[in-house]
Amino acid sequence: MLVIGLTGGIASGKSTVSRMLQEQGAEIIDADSLVHEVTQPGTDCLRRIIEAFGPAFLNPDGSLNRRRLGRLVFNDEDELRKLNAIVHPQVIEIIKSRIENARASERPPEVLVVDAPLLIEAGLVPLVDEVWVVAVDQNTQMERLMTRDRLNIDETLARIRAQIPLEDKIKIADVVIDNSGGVAETECQVKQNLARGVSKTRQGDQS
């Protein structure tokens, strides 16, 4: 089983690449979905978040006001570290468990993808066989993020700066997917690198 750690800068097109990998038969573990899962109303994680940050970050229905919390933590490194210290351990344990269960399965997937924007920051790199980084230039990244999340320039820059710089992620990448061009170009890179990774894994299993 080939385990790919998929990451990239915010709004770089990581979700597009993840979907392409899924269309090629890969099984996906989506870290963002897990974050939403562990912070649902009634969870211990949400209780600890509200204890740490206060009830002002709850919506009237008892759910987490993610937008308000995002405005706080993306402008204050200490607050971001505090939030990550609550959320990351739970998400990491779920990811570890799912990888272990997949490996132990009678019919494990040939490719398992850990789709995680904070793959590096959360210390998930040792769990994967290859690190794939999806990259775009910063102007494209900012335009996409402002449009997608309806942010102003200051909010956009704060979110970009809250992550490890893209060039630092590229330094540790086994594969860099350049998503600055069209969809067909990106898909070609995904298919080529997936075929190479699968072939390498098969050869290793036979040796």
The three-state (H, E, C) secondary structure of the chain, written as one string: CEEEEEEECCCCCHHHHHHHHHHCCCEEEEHHHHHHHHCCCCCHHHHHHHHHHCHHHECCCCCECHHHHHHHHCCCHHHHHHHHHHHHHHHHHHHHHHHHHHHHCCCCCCEEEEECCCCCCCCCHHHCCEEEEEECCHHHHHHHHHHHHCCCHHHHHHHHHCCCCHHHHHHHCCEEEECCCCHHHHHHHHHHHHHHHHHHHHHHHHC
pLDDT, tens digit only, all 207 positions of the chain:
999 999 998 888 999 999 999 999 999 999 999 999 999 999 999 999 999 999 999 999 999 999 999 999 988 999 999 999 999 999 999 999 999 999 999 999 999 999 999 899 899 999 999 999 999 988 888 888 899 888 889 888 888 888 888 899 999 999 999 998 899 999 999 999 999 999 998 887 665
Residue boundaries of the structural domains of the chain: 2-206
Instruction: Say how far apart CA 106 and CA 113 lie, in whole Å.
Output: 18
Instruction: Say how far apart CA 29 and CA 23 lie, in whole Å.
Output: 14
Pick the CATH number of 2-206 from 3.40.50.300, 3.40.190.10, 3.50.90.10, 3.30.110.40: 3.40.50.300
Instruction: Say how far apart CA 38 and CA 26 lie, in whole Å.
Output: 24
First-residue to last-residue Cα distance in the chain: 15
